[in-house]
Structure 1
Amino acid sequence: MSYILKFQDIGLEDLGLAGGKALNLGILTAAGLPVPPGVVVTTEAYDRVAGSLDLAAAASDPARARAMVMSAPIPDDIAKAVRQFGDVPVAVRSSATAEDLPYASFAGQQDTYLNVVGGDAVLDAVHRCWASLWTDRAVAYRTANGIDHRAVSLAVVIQEMVQSEVAGVMFTANPVTGRRREAVIDASPGLGEAVVSGAVNPDHFTVRDGRILERRLGDKRLAVRSLAGGGVEHVTTAQDAACLTDAQVLALAALGNRVEDHYGAPQDTEWAIDAGGELWLTQARPITTLHPVPDGPPGLRAYFCFSLAQGLTRPITPMGLSAFRVLSASISATVFGAPVADPRAGGTAFHEAGGRVFIDLTPVLRSSLGRAIVPRVFDVMEARSATVMRGLFGEPEFSLTQRSKWPAIRRGLRLARRYRIPVLAVQAVANPEKARKRVDQVGASLRARLPLPAGVSPLDHVERLLATQMIPVLPLILPAAAPGFILLGLATKLLGGKAGPGEVQTVLRGLPHNVTTEMDLELWHLAERIRKDPAAARALRDDRSGARPPGLDDFLARYGDRAVAEIDLGLPRWREDPSHVVGVLANYLRLEDASMAPDALFAKGAAEAEAMIAELGRRAGGLRGRFVRFALGRARALAGLRELPKYYLVVALATIRELLWQVGAELAERGSIEKAEDVFFITLPEARDAGDLRATVARRRDEYDREMRRRHIPRVLLSDGTEPEAVATAAPAADGALTGTPASSGVVTGVARVVLDPVGAHLEPGEILVCPSTDPGWTPLFLTAAGLVMEMGGANSHGAVVAREYGIPAVVGVPRATESIETGQRITVDGTSGAVTFAE
């Protein structure tokens, strides 16, 4: 059995034998790229040495696992095969089978030994590389990425040393801004280890389209050099001039483009230039941190992440995305009067990347009417995206091409006429109660169309509901809710400077007729009833297995269609899995202060709102004051209906989910998928074709699990990979404060609780909730929160509205709040100024 493979003999099928690093070096060698020659000691050698050791069981104690590997004897034939490469100085590098892959780079997780000289030294370095599969950092990285310790093996690269004069790293896409085809190069004299390890401040270059865009020189006070007898030394240096010429920088960037073109994806490379000026490529791996770019039309495009705006940092299941495609086609036909040839492919503005929905903003940016309206809508719904969008107005690629507003206005008028929007809006202002009854009828009519008709297949009914029944609900409800916000805006303008900061927002406290608020308060009332039943309360507090609180079924009968991340029909509804609701109820029982009870605070907020209406009317005075009181009163009567369109869509999605379970059961019976729930990892067209989809499901589950671990999602993403918000530089807030959009007035100081997923979250009464974003599934947590800090949103986004209704101070649109704030820190949330400060 051979334990050695030359680079040129490594094929694409050899990952399990050569590991990720060696596989990439083999691919680069075969492509004719300048790779120093070398070999790989295959995983068969590691498995023979360490295969009998129970290392997975020892993973909880990495030091013990490493000691077990180091004490394992190396068979003579393996030792002989390795020692033969000690004639010239070599670099000995670990090459794990879960390393340098498109989804997990494992950069620096295992060990590397440079300038190894002599057969025994090479053998010892190989042995130490094997043991480094069990370093603390490697074990932790595998655990964080969900990789089974037992599934990983290790090969070792032995590669001729490049005695470099200059070396470093190069990313073929900008890792900070995400911009593709923009090379970022760090360089320093000596071996590249100084740059890779972060031991030196290197020279930094940015290159795009054959031009050096940025040149920033480091002090380069340290160099790593090879020693004559083997090993390396760290040498203090003094070099103020650039260590690379412009020609070398451009040659490196050109080499990076060749590497990326060969792989078809951005790469993180290591390189070296020897004394003769020859350029060598010593390593390449995928850049795993870049968010995938939507596949759209040619030219620079701007995409808005709809998923993130809806409170989802997690990916959407493939079937959930497939449903969104059909819904987007329905929007195109219903709202814009532009039917799509293939609804299953989605509307022209719909795109997806990384399991998330993106909307093409390019036509909006190029339209004078789009620029006038959409950023103002974002101002109140997603303020940070509005700022990013306005920042793109000056870019040549997004210059105005549709200056006339009339085509869009005519489309809007046709939509208004078709759905009688102006008439219904006037009627809503004249008689809010009648408008609410009409909206209830819209919901009842939708519910009546949801059950499966006789003689219709579940899949046919799913596509019919998505294509024709759900989206028309939006323009039918809009005329009831929108006038409330329009009147609120008119009253604000009429008041001018007579309303202080946050005072108009007070009018929206304790807002009636909001289905989400009603749901939260009903859950609170259920907790109160359980509190009066000692046995039920004790069972809930003790978290007894299988204990089902009395009254829960009645709550679920009304609100069981809801869920966390409920716009994804691939996720269970509360009716299927009520564990989140049960956890919230248990949390409510921890609130003992009657004055802080949510229903009492809600009633107090409503009283404050009515008092503020009277006060603002008095300040305005006369006829203007009477109109202000009328407008603000109508705003309270109508604005709460804003939640109903989404609520009814979620009700429909719950029915569609039930129908898809039937489809999944049939596909599983045929053998197309393993089990019924796999239907949520295929698409509607695939469900109809019903081929063998088991491999597809497995692959998509892996992709979904990897995307679940992605923490940062861009709110706006350009088609060249640039995240505009990462490019913009904001002035630092005073005294290290975080700033965002004021969403609910008031000031509160308390202990922060960072929550990334509300399911199972524990929030002590009086803590300040810090989260990425919210949807209605989060709002039960609001009832015991003292304040809210949110990374997404604007003044009228979902979380902001609910926070105001409960009267808790809130700041939204705070960049990287969940990373900057730690659970347990005392923070002050100023919902009037939009500042979040850290207490001493």
Structure 2
Amino acid sequence: SSMAGRFTSVLGVGGWDEFTDAVRAVMQSAEAVRDASGDAGPMAVLVQRQIDARRGGVMFGVDPVTGSTRHVVVEVVPSGPETLVGGTAVADHYVLTRRGRIERATLTGESPRLDGTLRRSLARMARRAERVFGAPQDIEWLVDSTDRLWLLQSRPVTAVATADEQRGSVLLGPGPLAETFPAALRPLEDDLWIPPLREGITRALHTSGAVSARTLERSPVVTTVGGWAAADLELIGVVEARSSLRRRVDPVAILRRLTTAWRVGRLRVAMPGLASDLVATVDRDLGEIPRLDTLTMEELVDLLDRSRRELATVHSYEVLVGILMIAQGTTSGAAVAVRALHDARSAGWNDEEVVSRAPVVLVLTAPALGVAPALPPEVQPRSGPVATLDQLDQREALRVRARWLQELLARAAEELGGRLVESATLPGVESIGDLALSELVDIANGGPAPGDLSERSAHEPGPPLPVSFRLTVAGDVRSASSSSHSRPDEHAAGIAAGGGRAVGVACHRSASRAPPKGAILVTRHLEPQLATVLGGLGGLVSETGSALSHLAILAREAGLPTVVGVPDALTRFPAGSRLMIDGHTGEVEVLEAPCEDAPRSMAEP
């Protein structure tokens, strides 16, 4: 340990009495730090001349988050570094190259921007200190009133991500998965839905040749972290993959691209017929399933296995249709579902009748185990004619079937688990979701319940995931967002999802209140339930999401300006601020900061 901050420092000492008091205070601080045997080590007191700082800060000769030795990380405050290291100041944050060029910066506006001369001097100081001490250093520095740069103290950087932690790690994030799985998944939910999705995407990418087999082997494709679904963002195209010059001119890679083009050409011809056949097959298979309460335990286990395999195939075809860019229609499954739900509400159907007689409404809900689909009580369908379920294009039709299969898997697992509860094999229905699918099947086949099952319910899911992150070898989440915004930015850019331009007041989603008419809704994810409120909005901004998602398509149909993939949008655009958004360019701009007396309905998250 570098013992950073463990001992007392006394500044601004004047006169002999203050000096002796300061020495005693420093000596006494050693008593609080003891070794493994309980002894306090010897203490030397360093006496230095006080230098009045015009500004100062801390500098690391290595990026402690990524472990990159190609960067120098500098934090600056308009005072001496004591306020920064003491945690009482918010600093400007710079990531510099080893020669002082800015790679990234997060600025508070409290300090003057670092000029090129000072940046180069700081980078040179970091390099020299590393040469002298043999390792990257944690340096406290300041600039005095004459613009002279001083090194105040230096110690080794101790808490650094190792190369092994970062090497080969992929860029992960919720991405478009947050639209389907907006909440953390329980173990059984994970096993029911995530492996078929992973297999389907992998199969599609391999079949199309869009990604090399080696890349697929190295990637998790889709996984869960702390119960939250995450995908390889570069693999699924949410962010642009890095490509070196060598890779672009590699003859093997060029040959693979040519082979892929030939294969894609053949697939594009065959795919429409194959997708239509699969939709018809799924509809037939679902129609032939008897009531679940009439099936035996063995039949339920078999149904779970067959349905997961069929779900993987549907996911694969849906991804392939997207990769091949087969011409698609303009109506989404969500639009059909909203119209169906509106008609059902007008007819006075209850939720159970709606799901049974118009199952397309399931696309407005997220799959969940142990709870009935939460249909919204009120909906605002788009005006004008809407396509029927049979008129949906192939990709939308496949998405609807995927949601049906997810619901079937949930209900079959619930039926199987419920019988085990009735026979007292499981302690209660709340324990079903804490099982892995393999455990549920083993118990159904006569095996014992896990001994720790009663303790699993106390296990909480992890915190929501950053928009983008990497995992260390130890499984820790390291955010890869370009910055962490402590206050609103005047401008931000995301992924343009269409719908034109709009100006309106930002609101954050509230579970108890509908967004105000004409408001710009700022949300973390494009959850299916949002489809019912789009009609009254002026615009939509999301931290995650895809321009090809259900909600984005539905928003475009309604002419609603939509921007997705805006990092930290909820922090950058507080409720009550006046925004301009452009669905064609992806631009989001703060026109006015929120008023102090903004309505609480806009301030509730």
- Is 1:463 aligned with 2:344? no
- Match for 1:454: what amino acid? T
Q: 2:42, 2:290 → 1: CA distance?
A: 65
Q: 1:320, 1:293 → 2: CA distance?
A: 34
Residue of structure 1 aligned with 2:188, choices 319, 342, 345? 319
Q: 2:580, 2:92 → 1: CA distance?
A: 39
CA contact (8 A) 2:521 2:537 kept: yes
Residues 327 and 279 of structure 1, relative CA distance in 2, 3 Å threshold: same
In the TM superposition, 1:228-267 aligns within 5 A as 246-249=127-130, 254=135
In the TM superposition, 1:367-766 aligns within 5 A as 378=237, 382=238, 385=239, 388-389=240-241, 392-394=242-244, 400=250, 401-404=252-255, 405=257, 407-408=259-260, 420-421=270-271, 423=273, 439=279, 442-449=282-289, 453-454=295-296, 456=298, 458-466=300-308, 468-474=309-315, 486-487=326-327, 508=330, 511=331, 514-525=332-343, 551-557=350-356, 558-559=358-359, 562=362, 566=366, 569-570=368-369, 573-575=371-373, 578=374, 581-582=376-377, 585=378, 598-599=380-381, 601-603=382-384, 640-662=393-415, 664=417, 675-687=428-440, 690-694=449-453, 697=456, 701-702=459-460, 704=461, 706-708=462-464, 710=465, 712-714=466-468, 726=482, 736-755=490-509, 759-760=511-512, 762-766=514-518
For 1:197, what is the secondary structure of its paired residue?
coil
Residue 395 of structure 1: CA displacement?
Answer: 6.8
Percent of matched pairs sharing the same residue: 17
- Match for 1:554: what amino acid? E
For 1:749, what is the secondary structure of its paired residue?
strand
CA contact (8 A) 2:62 2:72 kept: yes
- Please tell me whether Structure 1 or Structure 2 has the larger radius of gyration of its CA atoms: 1
Partner of 1:260: none
Alpha-carbon displacement from aligned partner over 1:171-212 (angstroms, at most 9, x marks no partner):
79847xx523557555899875554436597997869xxxx4
CA contact (8 A) 1:90 1:159 kept: no
Partner of 2:601: none
Q: 1:484, 1:413 → 2: CA distance?
A: 8
Residue of structure 2 aligned with 1:328, choices 198, 201, 220? 198
Residue 802 of structure 1: CA displacement?
Answer: 0.2
- Is 1:769 aligned with 2:528? no
Q: 2:90, 2:323 → 1: CA distance?
A: 61
- Match for 1:581: what amino acid? P
Residue 320 of structure 1: CA displacement?
Answer: 3.4
Q: 2:119, 2:384 → 1: CA distance?
A: 70
- Match for 2:412: what amino acid? L
Residues 738 and 681 of structure 1, relative CA distance in 2, 3 Å threshold: same
- Match for 1:562: what amino acid? L
Partner of 2:17: none
Q: 2:395, 2:132 → 1: CA distance?
A: 57
CA contact (8 A) 1:716 1:725 kept: no
Partner of 1:300: 168
Residue of structure 1 aligned with 2:87, choices 197, 211, 221? 197
- Match for 1:464: what amino acid? R
CA contact (8 A) 1:661 1:677 kept: no
Residue of structure 1 aligned with 2:67, choices 172, 176, 180? 180
Q: How many residues align?
A: 514
TM-score relative to the length of structure 1: 0.48
Residue 556 of structure 1: CA displacement?
Answer: 3.7
Residue 765 of structure 1: CA displacement?
Answer: 2.9
CA contact (8 A) 1:180 1:722 kept: no
Residue of structure 2 aligned with 1:820, choices 569, 572, 576? 572
Q: 1:835, 1:776 → 2: CA distance?
A: 24
CA contact (8 A) 1:327 1:471 kept: yes
CA contact (8 A) 1:574 1:581 kept: no
Residue 651 of structure 1: CA displacement?
Answer: 1.7
- Match for 2:168: what amino acid? L
Residue 478 of structure 1: CA displacement?
Answer: 8.3
Alpha-carbon displacement from aligned partner over 1:458-508 (angstroms, at most 9, x marks no partner):
455423321x222333567789x87996447xxxxxxxxxxxxxxxxxx94
- Match for 1:442: what amino acid? V
CA contact (8 A) 2:506 2:575 kept: yes
- Match for 1:473: what amino acid? V
Q: 1:204, 1:271 → 2: CA distance?
A: 15
- Match for 1:726: what amino acid? S
Unmatched segments (≥5 aa) in structure 2: 11-20, 33-39, 103-117, 142-150, 209-216, 443-448, 484-488, 593-605
Q: 2:492, 2:372 → 1: CA distance?
A: 35
Residue 707 of structure 1: CA displacement?
Answer: 1.6
TM-score relative to the length of structure 2: 0.63
Alpha-carbon displacement from aligned partner over 1:76-133 (angstroms, at most 9, x marks no partner):
xxxxxxxxxxxxx8579xxxxxxxxxxxxxxxxxxxxx969469x98xx99xxxxxxx
In the TM superposition, 1:132-151 aligns within 5 A as none
- Match for 1:762: what amino acid? A
Residue 278 of structure 1: CA displacement?
Answer: 9.2
- Match for 1:692: what amino acid? G
Alpha-carbon displacement from aligned partner over 1:45-88 (angstroms, at most 9, x marks no partner):
xxxxxxxxxxxxxxxxxxxxxxxxxxxxxxxxxxxxxxxxxxxx
Partner of 2:553: 801
- Match for 2:244: what amino acid? G
For 1:788, what is the secondary structure of its paired residue?
strand
CA contact (8 A) 1:748 1:829 kept: yes
- Match for 1:655: what amino acid? L
CA contact (8 A) 1:753 1:769 kept: yes
Residue 714 of structure 1: CA displacement?
Answer: 0.6
Q: 2:549, 2:391 → 1: CA distance?
A: 16
Q: 2:63, 2:160 → 1: CA distance?
A: 13
- Match for 1:516: what amino acid? A
- Match for 2:354: what amino acid? F
Partner of 1:80: none
CA contact (8 A) 2:340 2:361 kept: no
Partner of 2:15: none
For 1:562, what is the secondary structure of its paired residue?
helix
Alpha-carbon displacement from aligned partner over 1:284-310 (angstroms, at most 9, x marks no partner):
8899xxxx9999xx9535445465454
Residues 240 and 671 of structure 1, relative CA distance in 2, 3 Å threshold: farther
Q: 1:91, 1:359 → 2: CA distance?
A: 47
In the TM superposition, 1:350-369 aligns within 5 A as 350-359=222-231
Q: 1:528, 1:641 → 2: CA distance?
A: 29
Q: 1:786, 1:395 → 2: CA distance?
A: 44
